[in-house]
């Protein structure tokens, strides 16, 4: 894969490292960047190939993503603004729908749309100096790339209201205390730790991982009983697989399982 605004690497088996690659503008998203992210994740939704986990970060040390590129938006007509926002809508929906686990490695500022990008991932690791904010209301708009929904699900409705309605930045430590960030690390360890976790996920049975992710995400919006029924349906998807047989055989033979996603 080759993109104008993203760098793609394969640092570990079955692991894809994606970096927003506009460090000269704090990795702010312009229309091309939104299109690239959208295209990448729509492609992974269609056919992930041998990718079993994705790590998303920002190039450079300054920022994960500063949000939408406001210089590009200067002077935009209402029609052009709406057309651009459709890209961001498709982008975040493609990320949220991705069956492959996605880890955000937030290396710096994650503001506005950048914070929404991180929230669209399955979980977040952050550098100690990382900062988060949803600043849209200070600009005459509001979060529109999933932030009102994903943040409330991460930190609760009342905390989400405080964060979004004030537009005030908060630290990685605060984000962790509120349940939004899973782990806070020194900047020098961030990517290595995210990749190590991605590698652990990638070693597990791919169908199992995808079905478990699906059950958690969909079940969170169902009643307990509906969620349990969907979990059962997801579970039975594994019964006829080669990986299920390999996993039990490997356990009994006291060796590492060789999962093939079949």
Q: Which of 66, 67, 109, 116 is catalytic?
A: 116
Q: Which of 34, 58, 113, 114 is catalytic?
A: 113
Collect all residues with Cβ–Cβ distance below 8 Å to 47 and sequence separation of at least 6: none
**Torsion-angle region of residue 98: left (phi > 0), alpha (psi -120 to 50) or beta?**
beta
Please give the order of strands across the beta sheet that includes 109-111.
63-65, 109-111, 131-133, 170-171
User: Which helix (H) or strand (E) is 111 found in, with range?
Assistant: strand 109-111
* The token pair that represents 10 in the structure block: 């394969």
Percent helix / strand / coil, the chain, rounded to 5: 50, 15, 30
Q: Is 155 helix (H, G, I), strand (E, B) or coil?
A: helix
> In the annotation, is 116 catalytic?
yes
> In the annotation, is 68 catalytic?
yes
> How big is the chain, counted in residues?
262
For the chain, the farthest-separated pair of C-alpha atoms sits apart, in whole angstroms, at 66
> In the annotation, is 113 catalytic?
yes
**Distance between CA 91 and CA 76 in Å, rounded?**
20
Q: Which of 28, 59, 68, 145 is catalytic?
A: 68
Query: Residues 201, 209: contact at Cβ < 8 Å?
Result: yes
**Distance between CA 226 and CA 40 in Å, rounded?**
32
> In the annotation, is 24 catalytic?
no
Closest to 116 (Cα-Cα) out of 142, 83, 77, 81: 142
Q: Which of 19, 104, 110, 136 is catalytic?
A: 136
The residues annotated as belonging to the active site are 68, 113, 116, 136
């Amino acid at each position: 894969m080759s993109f104008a605004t993203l760098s793609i690497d394969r640092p570990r088996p079955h692991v894809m490292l994606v970096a927003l690659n506009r460090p000269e503008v704090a990795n702010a998203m312009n229309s091309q960047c939104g299109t690239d992210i959208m295209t990448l994740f729509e492609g992974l939704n269609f056919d992930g190939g041998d990718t079993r986990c994705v790590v998303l970060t920002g190039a450079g040390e300054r920022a994960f993503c500063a949000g939408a590129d406001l210089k590009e938006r200067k002077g935009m007509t209402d029609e052009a603004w709406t057309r651009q926002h459709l890209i961001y809508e498709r982008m975040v929906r493609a990320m949220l729908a991705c069956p492959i686990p996605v880890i955000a490695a937030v290396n710096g500022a994650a503001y506005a749309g950048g914070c929404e990008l991180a929230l669209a991932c399955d979980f977040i690791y952050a550098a100690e100096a990382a900062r988060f904010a949803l600043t849209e209301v200070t600009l005459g708009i509001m979060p529109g790339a999933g932030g009102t929904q994903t943040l409330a699900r991460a930190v609760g409705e009342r905390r989400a209201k405080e964060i979004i309605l004030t537009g005030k930045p908060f630290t990685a430590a605060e984000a962790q205390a509120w349940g939004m960030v899973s782990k806070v690390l020194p900047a020098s360890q961030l990517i290595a730790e995210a990749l190590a976790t991605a590698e652990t996920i990638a070693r597990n049975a791919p169908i199992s991982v995808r079905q478990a992710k699906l059950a958690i995400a969909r079940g969170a919006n169902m009643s307990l009983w509906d969620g349990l029924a969907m979990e059962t349906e997801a579970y039975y998807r594994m019964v006829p697989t080669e990986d299920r047989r390999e996993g039990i055989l490997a356990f009994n033979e006291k060796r590492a399982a060789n999962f093939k996603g079949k």
